[in-house]
Amino acid sequence: MSGSLVIAGLGPGNEALVTPEVRAALALATDVVGYIPYVARVAPREGLTLHASDNRVEIDRSQHALQMAAEGKHVVVVSSGDPGVFAMASAVFEALEAGPAAWLDIDIQVLPGITASLAAAAQAGAPLGHDFCTINLSDNLKPWSLIEKRLRLAAEADFAMAFYNPRSKARPEGFVRALEVLNEACGDDRPVIFARAVTTPEQVINVVPLSQATPEMADMRTMVIVGSSTTRIIKRAAGNIIYTPRSVL
Ligand SMILES: C[S@@+](CC[C@H](N)C(=O)[O-])C[C@H]1O[C@@H](n2cnc3c(N)ncnc32)[C@H](O)[C@@H]1O
């Protein structure tokens, strides 16, 4: 019996943003594997086993998924947003590379989803309409010195920047320092978008000038987008639009 492994993105939260391709994979799955809140987004049904696990066990979870697929199950590993953006696709491939040779024969597919930075940008207008970069501000998997270097160089290169994992209870200091670095390195007062729980009923979008951005404006459900030097605001009664023009002259 040949199994399969699909690594799927569930999008930023709104069920309407789950792609038809991901819905079809979930409908065929025998087993769904993932972090507890993401597995909770999958409706239980007969014939489907849900395997929810804690956040810090990505490699264990990946090995479990690969082993079940090798045994003939149709396994879907779920991530929020896109599975290739700071999420499970890389973890599964790390486990695959280090695992038994038999796992190399598993039928594996990665199905994209709408990542939080793009969902947040769409709510604000088009702040990522010119060149941009994304940085994960968590120092769980890399040293803080590298994050700080990347922040400075991205500011120097005048990218718009989208920050994932900006601040958590366990890491309250990092985002304080990130704002200090950005205020030093950007040298002007460009717009900063704090987009929390985007596309869910709890969504809040808050836009402030960089000099007025404070650490408590972000938490682990927030996407932070810092404009480039060309990012502009169109003021409207119906809600301001933040966008970065297509060209730099
Ligand atoms: C571990 S990363 C996972 C990213 C995910 N794979 C993606 O493509 O969106 C988790 C971070 O994504 C951001 N995020 C995820 N969903 C979000 C949402 N609905 N609204 C705002 N930010 C979100 C937050 O910055 C959060 O700390």
The β-bridge relationship of strands 191-196 and 222-226 is antiparallel
Q: Which atom of ligand 1 is nearest to the CA of 200?
A: 19
**Confidence band (pLDDT; 50, 70, 90) for 172?**
confident
Mean pLDDT of 212-241: 97
Per-residue pLDDT tens over the stretch 62-85? 999 999 999 999 999 999 999 999
Per-residue pLDDT tens over the stretch 86-102? 999 999 999 999 999 99
Mean pLDDT of 8-23: 98
Mean pLDDT of 21-32: 98
- Which residue's alpha carbon is nearest to atom 2 within ligand 1? 86
Would you state the pLDDT for residue 169? 85
Q: Which atom of ligand 1 is nearest to the CA of 114?
A: 8
Name the β-bridge partners of 194: 206, 224
Q: Is 8 in the pocket of ligand 1 (CB under 6 A)?
A: no
- Which residue's alpha carbon is nearest to atom 12 within ligand 1? 164
Is residue 5 within 8 A of residue 77, CB to CB? The reply is yes
Q: Is 198 in the pocket of ligand 1 (CB under 6 A)?
A: yes
Name the β-bridge partners of 160: 132
Q: Is 58 in the pocket of ligand 1 (CB under 6 A)?
A: no
Domains in the chain: ranges and CATH: 4-114 (3.40.1010.10), 117-243 (3.30.950.10)
- Which residue's alpha carbon is nearest to atom 1 within ligand 1? 86
pLDDT at 42 over 90: yes
| Closest-CA residue to 205 (of 213, 56, 197) | 197
Hey, which of 14, 165, 196 would you mutate to test ligand 1's pocket, going by the most ligand atoms within 8 Å of its Cβ? 165
pLDDT at 1 over 80: no
Find the farthest-apart pair of alpha carbons in the chain and give their distance in angstroms, rounded. 61
Residue with tokens 């994304």, as numbered in its chain = 134
Would you state the pLDDT for residue 119? 98
Looking from the CA of 45 toward its CB, the CA atoms found within 13 Å total: 10
pLDDT at 163 over 90: yes
- Which residue's alpha carbon is nearest to atom 27 within ligand 1? 165
Per-residue pLDDT tens over the stretch 118-150? 999 999 999 999 999 999 999 999 999 999 999
What value does the CA radius of gyration of the chain take, rounded to a whole number of Å?
20
Q: Is 129 in the pocket of ligand 1 (CB under 6 A)?
A: no
Would you state the pLDDT for residue 170? 86
**Confidence band (pLDDT; 50, 70, 90) for 168?**
confident
Would you state the pLDDT for residue 18? 98
Q: How far apart are CA 230 and CA 55, in angstroms?
A: 37
Would you state the pLDDT for residue 249? 86
Using the mean position of ligand 1's atoms as its centre, give its distance from the Cα of residue 249 in Å.
33
